[in-house]
Amino acid sequence: MKTRIKEFRARHNLTQEDLAKKVGVRRETIVFLEKGKYNPSLQLAHDVAVALKSTVEELFIFEK
């Protein structure tokens, strides 16, 4: 899975730590999400999308 979290985070001038605090996870979780090494729960994906004023579909690119 690929993500555009880093791109959207930069648009909002948020650090990984800032985003982590907004969604209630550790910074390491954001690192893993950005690298595509962690598949988030639907709730976490939604929370990240809301924090970045985006949609789950815009942030996460699911590959087969």
Q: How confident is the model at residue 1 (pLDDT cuts 50, 70, 90)?
A: confident
Question: Taking a C-beta distance cutoff of 8 angstroms, is the pair 29, 20 a contact?
Answer: yes
Question: Taking a C-beta distance cutoff of 8 angstroms, is the pair 53, 19 a contact?
Answer: no
Question: Taking a C-beta distance cutoff of 8 angstroms, is the pair 59, 48 a contact?
Answer: yes
The amino acid that residue 57 corresponds to is: E
Instruction: Convert the pLDDT of each residue in 16-58 to its tens digit.
Output: 999 999 999 999 999 999 998 999 999 999 999 999 999 999 9
Instruction: Convert the pLDDT of each residue in 52-61 to its tens digit.
Output: 999 999 999 9
pTM tops 0.75, yes or no: yes
Domains, the chain, ordered by start: 2-61 (1.10.260.40)
